Amino acid sequence: MLSKRHAEIMRMLTDEGTVTISDLAARLGVSLETVRRDVRPLTDSGAVLKIHGAVGLAGQVGEAPFQRRMRENADAKRRIAREMAQLIHDGESVMLDTGTTTSFVARELLGHRRLTVVTNSSDIARTLATVNGNKVYMAGGELRSDSGAAFGVSAIEFIAKFSVAHAIISAGAIDAGSGVMDFDLEEAEFARMMISRGERSYVVTDHTKFGRRGLVSVAGFEAIGNLVTDAPVTRDLAEVLDAQQTRLIVAA
């Protein structure tokens, strides 16, 4: 008979795909031996696979990093995406950079018609191309194996040719003092160009990115028209956003 702890283990694996035995023990507050005993019936049933001191949900072991990140905070990202999609109307032009939250935005835009979409993400291009009369332009260059997105000089030069109604970027970190940040130089450079090409600019990010400092600056809040997120922000960040006239939109 499966216990409440079994259900908790399955919930963690559903959210994260793979978790080490030691991490499970620490998070459940039990010994390593207890965790090993708990996962045994799950592995015996085939629902869970053992891998190198860890366990993974069957069907998700070996998946691409981007697919794994799509499951992290998925409910929050979906709410943000739904809120963002309501700000876009049929027939408008949209730029979307690569990111799990922007990929959720693309899925919410499947109810729209005749969009013109510019992106460097193969996932977003694949989602919105050939449906509802949309026109999709994808930046060229080498596609990264982890995200299926194009970066570099050719990608930046490509999007610089466009001017759109809505430019939407994701964020690796949001800091009250430094603004929008990322952990990858090429991604930051691409996002910086993208927000300059929109009549209206948006950062879509969930609350876990707040209070973090990235490695590379993308833009100060003065360059961001709207910040769309899933939870209220701290007082110091709210004051900075207000001072820079950046509109805060918290998804219902």
Q: What is the pLDDT of residues 200-252, one digit of tens each?
A: 999 999 999 998 888 999 999 999 999 999 999 999 999 999 999 999 999 98
Q: What is the pLDDT of residues 56-93, one digit of tens each?
A: 876 555 445 666 667 677 889 999 999 999 999 999 99
Contact call for residues 73 and 208 (beta carbons, < 8 A):
yes
Q: HSE of 137 in the Cβ direction (CA atoms, 13 Å)?
A: 15
Confidence at 13, pLDDT banded by 50, 70, 90: confident
Q: What is the pLDDT of residues 110-141, one digit of tens each?
A: 999 999 999 999 989 999 998 899 999 999 88
- What does the alpha-carbon distance between residue 237 and residue 232 come to, in Å, rounded to a whole number? 10
DSSP code, position 210: B
Least confident span in 10-24, 97-111, 133-147: 10-24
Q: What are the helix (H) ranges across 72-138?
A: 74-85, 100-108, 122-128
Residues sharing a CB contact under 8 Å with residue 214, sequence separation 6 or more, in sequence order: 172, 173, 175, 178, 181, 182, 183, 188
Q: What is the pLDDT of residues 40-49, one digit of tens each?
A: 888 887 778 8
The residue among 222, 146, 224 whose CA lies nearest residue 186 is 146
Residue with tokens 């739904």: 82
